[in-house]
Chains A and B, each alone.
Chain A
Amino acid sequence: MDLLEYQGKQLFAKHGIAVPSGEVASTVDDAVATAEKIGFPCAIKAQVLIGGRGKAGGIKIAQNVEEARAHADAILGMDIIGPHGEGPFRVDQVWIEGGSEIAAEYYASVILDRGEKKLLAMVSAKGGMDIEAVAAEDPEALVKRHIDPTSEFSAAAARSIVADAGLAEDALDAAAEVLVGLAEVAREEDATLIEVNPLIVTAGRDVVALDSKVTIDGNSLFRHQDLAEIADTVEDPQEQMAKEKGLTYVKLDGNVGILANGAGLCMSTLDVVAQAGGAPANFLDAGGGSKAEAIVNALEVIKSDAKVTAILFNIFGGITRCDEIANGIVTASRQIDLGVPLVVRLDGTNSEEGLRILAEADLPNLHQEKTMLDAARRVVELAGSAS
């Protein structure tokens, strides 16, 4: 789960990392009132989960009330496209914070390095710009050091990293403290990525996190009440519905509704549907051990996307039992009017029982296929003719 800039900064503040004080606003009037309270100059920053906000015009400095109103009016409601064409991301909130006098811009991050199975700290004196470009063009400028997973991350260890990165001598202690704080955020808040770009030195020689990018491990939310509440605010109505029902759903642009069990099989199903000439409408992993009720929920979620003209169920049962899936399909077909053809492929644990249940129920508009490729071809055919 990704946090908005201000949510990340609130976590930073909780762990003793200096951030500019500010407030969030979702209307122009609130934004102007907040700006007046904070004083000028102040920064008005679009809160969306994508990089490149500055270049897209989503971050502006206001010198007075008139500018604050003009900027808030321009930024709230704008659609921001990511640097790699992601989005659009509609701006519903702005973060308003006091302007900072910047003497130097650095880069600092702590990230889970999957390959090495350790947290990795990275620091550079070349902050405030595209750090991927810095890493590619001047790798020496980016100091990377793993954090020992079996012991505390000491201020001394952090200081040697920031010193090697060539940060200003009089900022080393404060920057080291920030780095220790970032590692603490990782360990105590279950963050798998924390990036600060820029980490600034102010004219008064304070070290302050001017931006934040934080990713929290979704599996850890049971022990973070505050973060779990943030996770509950998803925008897309289908994704929201899926989340409430405990399903993993990602909406796509096509018309072939897809349900599979297991993320790998689900991704593979999207691939074979695409290879068969179809366009998947969604990714929906019903998870391990899917029960009948989960199938009813899944069909409701898929069906709520009006673009869907046919649905493919691709199930290979391990922990999932095909008889439970079949019962779910039968129950769902009686509870909700699908109105679109359903192609079902059941294989694996208790598949014979599952196939028998489906055959006995004799549901209209249900097509069984024995293999994944045949099922993909069939659903693409049916989806096409239905539209």
Chain B
Amino acid sequence: MSIIVGEKTKLAVSGLTGREGSFHGLRNKAYGTDLVAGVTPGKGGQDVEGVPVFDTIKEAVDEAGANTSMIFVPARFAAAAIDEAIDSGVETVIAITEGIPVLDMLSTYWKAKEKGVRLIGPNCPGVLSPGKANVGIIPAQFFDPGPIGVVSKSGTLTYQIGNELKQAGTGNSSIVGIGGDPIVGSDFIDILKLYEADPETELIVMVGEIGGDAEERAAEFIAAEVSKPVVAYIAGFTAPPGKQMGHAGAIISGSSGTAQAKKDALEAKGVRVGESPTETAAIAAEMLRG
């Protein structure tokens, strides 16, 4: 098994006719992902290297059997495209687009919840289940199949750690980039739940960064609900301290949002936190060998 994407994924890519959309959509197809459709309003009836293009995601679902939607649409139109995907009948929406206004995501997040659609992203690299399917921009050649589930806020940092795990001779059940935006469809806890239930996943690597309190919340959840070992990495120890404008942020989260606060919260719950991506991968590999 694996989580979110796999052999049963039938992918429709919104934005397949664009430069980045076609580059990565076709790379996903070449990897073995079942790419069944592209979606671009006004370009229905065309094809991209044999992949049929539809005007709407609903048509891609009805006519090509798509169950997963990937959004590669420019930021100002992306929230509407995600909303369209949520209404189309797909099970999973993976939004790669960065720069979507956060308040647009507020309504989109709750729409996905209400319809029971799993939303990953936005501003994320997607999901890779090595050897099975790749939906997004993760360079799959740096990841081998294996027992480690990775969940990360950061794209490039995820590749870095995945690559270190490969060097250490292990691999991944899935790699999930949840995105670093203030509001993302799925957070650490949602993905930790899936890994906990996935029989192929033996250990979980969680990659966080400064801002918000998702890591602190995940620490609580890990202590209460996760039986599998978790290794974490947090980026941003030397990031410049933000100018403190209002005080309301610290009041609601009860956390300063710093890398140190996150590390402390995780370690207090028994989660080992690596100093660098390299050390994090080494700890994970060592714990697996156990």
- Find B100's partner among A51, A219, A287, A317 (CB 8 Å cutoff): A219
**Pair B106/A118 contact, Cβ less than 8 Å:** yes
**Pair B101/A2 contact, Cβ less than 8 Å:** no
Minimum Cβ distance to chain B for residue A250 (Å)? 6
**Pair A275/B244 contact, Cβ less than 8 Å:** no
**Pair B138/A222 contact, Cβ less than 8 Å:** no
**Pair A264/B152 contact, Cβ less than 8 Å:** yes
A169–B158 alpha-carbon span in the complex (Å): 55
**Pair B253/A115 contact, Cβ less than 8 Å:** yes
Cβ proximity bits B161-193 to A, threshold 8 Å, 1 near / 0 not: 001000000000000000010110000000000
**Pair A111/B110 contact, Cβ less than 8 Å:** no
**Pair A113/B238 contact, Cβ less than 8 Å:** no
Minimum Cβ distance to chain A for residue B192 (Å)? 15
Q: What are 13 A-B pairs at a CB distance below 8 A?
A: A111-B249, A114-B213, A119-B106, A149-B110, A261-B156, A268-B276, A271-B259, A273-B238, A274-B238, A283-B239, A320-B156, A348-B142, A371-B278
**Pair B276/A272 contact, Cβ less than 8 Å:** yes
Instruction: Scan residues 100-140 of chain B and give those whose CB is less than 8 A from a CB of chain A.
Output: 100-103, 106-107, 109-110, 125, 137-139
Quick check: is B199 within 8 A (CB to CB) of the other chain? no
Chain A residues contacting B289 (CB-CB under 8 Å) are none
Stretch from A70-78, A159-167, A187-195, A360-368 forming part of the interface with B: A187-195
Residue in chain A with minimal CB distance to B276: A272
Minimum Cβ distance to chain A for residue B246 (Å)? 4
**Pair B239/A318 contact, Cβ less than 8 Å:** no
- Find A271's partner among B137, B238, B246 (CB 8 Å cutoff): B238
Chain B residues contacting A319 (CB-CB under 8 Å) are 20, 24, 96, 125, 137, 155
Chain B residues contacting A349 (CB-CB under 8 Å) are 139
**Pair A267/B217 contact, Cβ less than 8 Å:** no
Chain A residues contacting B155 (CB-CB under 8 Å) are 262, 264-265, 288, 318-319
With A117-B109, A219-B100 as given contacts, are A347 and B243 in contact (CB-CB < 8 Å)? no
Q: Which residues of B contact A (CB under 8 A)?
A: 20, 24, 75-76, 96, 98-103, 106-107, 109-110, 125, 137-139, 142, 152-160, 163, 180, 182-183, 207, 209-210, 212-214, 217, 233, 235-241, 243-253, 259, 275-278
Cβ proximity bits A256-290 to B, threshold 8 Å, 1 near / 0 not: 00001111110110111111000010010001110
- Taking A112-B183, A268-B154 as given, write out 14 further A-B residue pairs in contact, using a Cβ cutoff of 8 Å, ordered by the A residue number: A51-B245, A114-B182, A115-B252, A119-B106, A131-B248, A149-B109, A150-B110, A195-B248, A219-B102, A220-B101, A252-B240, A265-B235, A268-B160, A268-B235
**Pair B252/A372 contact, Cβ less than 8 Å:** no
**Pair A267/B276 contact, Cβ less than 8 Å:** no
Cβ proximity bits A200-239 to B, threshold 8 Å, 1 near / 0 not: 0000000000000101010110110000000000000000
**Pair B277/A84 contact, Cβ less than 8 Å:** no
**Pair A263/B275 contact, Cβ less than 8 Å:** no
**Pair B248/A274 contact, Cβ less than 8 Å:** no
Minimum Cβ distance to chain B for residue A387 (Å)? 19
**Pair A318/B125 contact, Cβ less than 8 Å:** yes
**Pair A250/B250 contact, Cβ less than 8 Å:** no
Residue in chain B with minimal CB distance to A113: B252
**Pair A265/B154 contact, Cβ less than 8 Å:** yes
- Find A112's partner among B102, B239, B277 (CB 8 Å cutoff): B102
A50–B213 alpha-carbon span in the complex (Å): 23
Minimum Cβ distance to chain A for residue B152 (Å)? 7
A112–B183 alpha-carbon span in the complex (Å): 9
**Pair A132/B152 contact, Cβ less than 8 Å:** no
Minimum Cβ distance to chain B for residue A231 (Å)? 14
Minimum Cβ distance to chain A for residue B213 (Å)? 6
**Pair A86/B106 contact, Cβ less than 8 Å:** no
**Pair A84/B241 contact, Cβ less than 8 Å:** yes
- Find B154's partner among A142, A252, A262, A289 (CB 8 Å cutoff): A262
- Find B244's partner among A84, A262, A263 (CB 8 Å cutoff): A84
Residue in chain B with minimal CB distance to A111: B248
Cβ proximity bits A1-30 to B, threshold 8 Å, 1 near / 0 not: 010000000000000000000000000000
Chain A residues contacting B247 (CB-CB under 8 Å) are 51, 130-132, 195
**Pair B240/A265 contact, Cβ less than 8 Å:** no
**Pair B214/A115 contact, Cβ less than 8 Å:** yes
Chain A residues contacting B102 (CB-CB under 8 Å) are 112, 190, 192, 217, 219-220
A193–B155 alpha-carbon span in the complex (Å): 27
In the A-B complex, the 9 residue pairs with the closest CB atoms: A264-B154, A262-B156, A264-B157, A265-B156, A195-B246, A220-B101, A267-B235, A267-B236, A268-B235
Chain A residues contacting B235 (CB-CB under 8 Å) are 264-265, 267-268, 271
A268–B156 alpha-carbon span in the complex (Å): 10
A317–B75 alpha-carbon span in the complex (Å): 21
Residue in chain A with minimal CB distance to B109: A117
**Pair B278/A372 contact, Cβ less than 8 Å:** yes
Chain B residues contacting A338 (CB-CB under 8 Å) are none
- Find B241's partner among A86, A111, A122, A289 (CB 8 Å cutoff): A86
A87–B243 alpha-carbon span in the complex (Å): 8
A263–B275 alpha-carbon span in the complex (Å): 17
Minimum Cβ distance to chain B for residue A380 (Å)? 13
Quick check: is A168 within 8 A (CB to CB) of the other chain? no
Minimum Cβ distance to chain B for residue A336 (Å)? 25
Quick check: is A186 within 8 A (CB to CB) of the other chain? yes
Chain A residues contacting B233 (CB-CB under 8 Å) are 268
Chain B residues contacting A275 (CB-CB under 8 Å) are 275-276
